């Protein structure tokens, strides 16, 4: 349980499934009011109904394409009007497509940057002024271990997550004087529908099936960290060792891990 969340207002993007849905359920269980943002409105309404049946909290639903600035602005205007404030923003919306760089379609490349990077920045811009005015808040950006250690067939996806980490690290320092926490979450592969798009052949999922994270456990870890000054959450912890080694010995890691990296 996280008693700090009781009565707080939490916005979660990419909330129509996976860890977004699980975080919404965990936060509501802890007494927080929730604003759910995603494109799939039927899924959002189902989650809203489920939460309202179980917990005495407010649940707002917004069908939003995070890549469209006007839709994001409209949603946040409504959120501030109805809830009055945003205490926690979880930038969870994102997707990936695994292709080698020369094979990636321009549509997929633009889409990944629009959602994973620009959409995240857009949402963050709308909450920062309000959090600064109140002198409190928590921004949680779901990045990836791919943002620390890029591998073959994920060049564009990894580039977006490197961008997310760069943005997060800078914003953390900018807001450190305002009582606002900023956390990066770097998970490895999670057992969600992410791979229905990212790995349509199913070969990558098959090779790492035993290593995939449980979305409920990931959501629980993130929810427990809300309103704590946690710089990063790396899941699983052992996988982050590879990222640390890569930062120190990139040539060695690329040589030793080459065979494993090409399993994607």
According to CATH, what is the number of the domain 3-261? 3.40.50.720
How far is it, in rounded angstroms, from Cα 46 to Cα 200? 27
Grade residue 206 by pLDDT with cuts at 50, 70 and 90. low
Residue 31 has pLDDT above 50, yes or no: yes
pLDDT in tens, 238-264: 778 878 888 888 888 888 776 666 665
Question: To 5 degrees, how large is the angle CA 100–CA 90–CA 78?
Answer: 115
pLDDT value of position 260: 67
Q: What's the burial of 154, exposed, middle or buried (CB within 10 Å: 0-12/13-18/19+)?
A: buried
Which residue among 157, 181, 204, 246 is the active-site one?
157
Question: Domains of the chain: which residue ranges?
Answer: 3-261
Tell me, yes or no, if 157 is annotated catalytic: yes
Residue 221 has pLDDT above 80, yes or no: yes
Q: Which residue has the higher pLDDT, 254 or 109?
A: 109
Grade residue 198 by pLDDT with cuts at 50, 70 and 90. very low
Residue 196 has pLDDT above 60, yes or no: no
pLDDT value of position 241: 86
Mean pLDDT is lowest, of 134-143, 216-225, 229-238, for: 229-238
What's the pTM?
Answer: 0.90
| Residue 215 main-chain phi, psi, to 5 deg | -60, -35
pLDDT value of position 252: 84
Residue 105 has pLDDT above 50, yes or no: yes
Is the bond into 84 cis (omega within 30 degrees of 0)? Answer: no
pLDDT in tens, 60-95: 999 999 999 999 999 999 999 999 999 999 999 999
């Amino acid at each position: 349980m996280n008693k700090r969340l009781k009565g707080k207002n939490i916005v979660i993007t990419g909330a129509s499934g996976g860890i977004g849905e699980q975080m919404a359920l965990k936060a509501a269980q802890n007494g927080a009011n929730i604003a759910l943002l995603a494109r799939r409105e039927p899924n959002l309404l189902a989650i809203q109904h489920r939460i309202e049946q179980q917990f005495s909290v407010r649940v707002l639903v917004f069908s939003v394409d995070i890549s469209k600035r006007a839709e994001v602005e409209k949603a946040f205007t409504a959120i501030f009007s109805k809830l009055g404030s945003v205490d926690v923003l979880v930038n969870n919306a994102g997707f990936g497509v695994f292709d080698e760089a020369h094979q990636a379609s321009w549509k997929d490349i633009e889409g990944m940057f629009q959602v994973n990077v620009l959409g995240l920045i857009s949402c963050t811009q709308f909450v920062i002024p309000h959090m600064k005015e109140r002198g409190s808040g928590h921004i949680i950006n779901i990045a990836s271990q791919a943002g620390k250690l890029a591998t073959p067939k994920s060049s564009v996806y990894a580039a977006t997550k490197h961008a997310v980490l760069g943005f997060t690290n800078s914003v953390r320092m900018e807001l450190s004087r305002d009582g606002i926490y900023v956390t990066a979450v770097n998970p490895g592969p999670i057992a969600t529908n992410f791979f229905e798009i990212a790995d349509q052949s199913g070969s990558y999922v098959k090779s790492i099936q035993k290593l995939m994270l449980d979305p409920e456990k990931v959501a629980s870890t993130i929810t427990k960290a809300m309103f704590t000054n946690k710089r990063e959450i790396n899941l699983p912890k052992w996988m982050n060792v590879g990222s640390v080694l890569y930062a120190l010995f990139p040539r060695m890691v690329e040589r030793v891990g080459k065979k494993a990296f090409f399993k994607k």
